[in-house]
Amino acid sequence: MLTVTPSNKISPLFGSIKQLIEQGKRNVAVSVNAELTMLYWNVGNAIHKEILGEHRAEYGKQVIATLSAQLEKEYGKGWSIEQLRHCLRLAEAFPVKQILYTLCTQLSWSHLRILILWM
């Protein structure tokens, strides 16, 4: 049978569990941010390689516009031309994937986007 204990005895347990839950939520947010940022880097890196393979600026614009239209049709508005350009800038600004991974565990995508716009 379940017995009810005074709330002052539950409070330390509640506090401990609350801390565990909050830390878990923070860890999930950091992991999701890191995965999204690495996805954006991989997309930008793939675009970068495609455009550099042709060495033509006009070709690059066409690649990004066409790719954006295809991705938006498949996945929605999150893959606009502007977003793809952010991905491309990210890959150009951080050519070493491991360095970016270390940064994205400390900084959000929004912070990294601000940084690449200033570079």
The domain limits of the chain are 27-118
Asked if the model's pLDDT at residue 54 lies above 80, the reply is no
Residue tagged 């401990």 (tokens): 16
What pTM was computed for the model? Answer: 0.80
pLDDT of residue 55: 63
Share of the chain above pLDDT 70, in %: 87
Cβ atoms of 79 and 64 within 8 Å: the answer is no
Determine the average pLDDT of the residues in 5-10.
60
Radius of gyration of the chain (CA): 22
pLDDT of residue 105: 87
Buried b (16+ CB within 10 A) or exposed e, 35-64: eebeebbebbbebbeebeeeeeeeebeebb
Cβ atoms of 51 and 59 within 8 Å: the answer is yes
